[in-house]
Amino acid sequence: MKMKSKEIQVTGQETWTLFRLENDQGMSVHFLNFGGIITNISVPDWNGDSENVVLSYKNFEEYMENPGYLGALIGRVAGRIKQASFQLEGKEYQVEANEGEHHLHGGEKGFHQQIWEASPFENDGGIGVTLSHKSSDGEGGYPATIDVTVTYTLTDDNRLVIDYFAETDQTTVLTLTNHTYFNLSGQADTTIHDHTLRLNSSRFAELDDELIPTGEWINLNDTPFDFREQKLLGSSLSYETTQQKAANGGIDHFFLLDGKRKPDIRLEEETSRRTLEVETDQPGVVIYTSNNLPEGKFLVEGKTRKYSGVCIETQSSPASIHEAGFPEITLSPGEPYQSRTVFKFGIGATP
């Protein structure tokens, strides 16, 4: 296994560091200390040919704005906060309204726009980098000073392990995730219609037409979002139902994980036969099929467009701020935030 790094000079910006991790099986992971952005994950297909299986901008400058949050760490709160406001311990807090009247993914200067301190390491478990950031009280409108670390570890059995840890000095809200877009074909100019998905969930949060949870849960029975058995992802990419229409012709929903069968999530692409298995201790996941991805940005291959990739955003739910019955995101002093998500890449059985 080996690790390399190099400096990236972006016009008018500070210098970023690009880390490259590579194991002995031909898998590599590249990411920036800016936003913790994953810019490349290359894994072999059934022929042994390695290709990048995540959406990546052709020019690093595109990550300066990154309207689609490609590859980025998301925080303080992943997802949407209704009306960009919430109450904690009897006090009202107003955060940035950066998507209409609502708050999305930590705001314009969220964790995806921060330069993180980086500490590389190598141990028996693999090689990786720990990224650290101190978010001050009032940053983005959020209460409390929090110390956050996110660790990326590459193992020799083709696992990318993401560990999240945070401590706060007063009560606040926090739920972190990673916003990488996967396209296992290795061909970013294709769509994800031919991927198949298995998702161990029996219900998802209903959305209104502004993608805000209504507070109701929908049972997956007889819906296009029932992926409890491996099923073609393309079958859900339409405007057939009210919930598909709300998400602009696909999925952008929070699914509550059952936790009864592992892996929690399994994605496969039939031509390359690449597989991605995801295991997490988070209570749920947002599956996002890039229905609203800003189009026309130059990628390493092709341009961004609708259905270019699928995000697997393991997290808790910001809907819990306003609605009962959702997994909580409150963080208190003396009770650290700690979570792990594992992305394991492999090759499926011969058809």
Which listed residue (179, 195, 253, 269) is catalytic?
A: 179
Tell me the C-alpha distance between 305 and 216, whole Å.
31
Nearest to 40 by CA among 22, 18, 56: 56
Give me the catalytic one of 62, 269, 277, 313: 313
DSSP code, position 58: S
Please state, in angstroms and as integers, the Cα–Cα distance from residue 19 to each residue in 5, 146, 192, 315, 344, following that order.
4, 25, 27, 25, 20
131 beta partners: 118, 150
61 noted as active-site residue: no
Within 115-251, strands assigned E span 117-123, 126-135, 146-154, 159-168, 172-173, 177-178, 181-182, 195-199, 201-207, 213-219, 231-232
- 56 in Cβ contact with 188 (< 8 Å): yes
Beta carbons of 284 and 327 less than 8 angstroms apart: yes
Instruction: State how far the Cα of 231 lies from the Cα of 240, in Å rounded to an integer.
Output: 17
Does the annotation mark 313 as catalytic?
yes
Which token pair is 19?
């880390």
Tell me the C-alpha to C-alpha distance, in Å, between residue 218 and each of 4, 26, 213: 46, 41, 11
Q: Which residues are catalytic, by number?
A: 179, 313
